[in-house]
Structure 1
């Protein structure tokens, strides 16, 4: 993982955590989705992004998100062998197999 990608992931995750602790769960989730996009190729960070989405599911008592994130944390093992849907935002509201476009401002980190 390049230094610029590590920093970008940490920034997105930390912004999400800050908002999570302020109770701004919708905004936090958006940052965790961005962290997820950046972390997909890297198993530990990939799981961490799902963990925070799982925590939002717990806070909201959202069973779909809770169970969806459990499945996704297990499925994150695909990162170990390079199998993951590029650009997927990682929430339970999208298929865990669906590739999605990488947001323009995040493409820079994959160059």
Structure 2
């Protein structure tokens, strides 16, 4: 993972974790989703983003999110062979194989 991408992933992940700790769960998910988009092509960051979404699902009591994240943690192995749907937010409410538009401000990390 290139340094610029790694720093952006860490920044989004840290924002998400901080917001989750302060009870701002929907805002936390927003940043965790952005971390997922940035990290999904690299196995370890991909798993880490799903792990934190799992924790957010547990904190909010969202069983669909919890089960979806468990499945996605296992499915993160797709990043080892380059099989990830770019732009996918990583949330359980979205198909795990659906490509999605990459937010404009994140496109610079994929050029």
TM-score range, shorter chain: over 0.9
Q: Deviations over 1:16-42 (max 9, x none)?
A: 011011010100000000000000110
The alpha carbon displacement at 1:80 in A equals: 0.3
Q: Deviations over 1:52-99 (max 9, x none)?
A: 110011011111000000000000000000001110000001000100
The alpha carbon displacement at 1:9 in A equals: 0.2
Backbone CA RMSD of aligned residues: 0.5
> Equivalences for 1:34-45 in 2 at 5 Å?
34-45=34-45
Unpaired runs of 5+ residues, structure 1, are: none
1:64 aligns with 2:64: yes
Unpaired runs of 5+ residues, structure 2, are: none
The alpha carbon displacement at 1:110 in A equals: 1.2
> Equivalences for 1:7-86 in 2 at 5 Å?
7-86=7-86
TM-score scaled by length of structure 2: 0.98
TM-score scaled by length of structure 1: 0.98
The residue that corresponds to 1:95 in the other structure is: 95
Segments of 4+ in structure 1 off by > 3 A? none
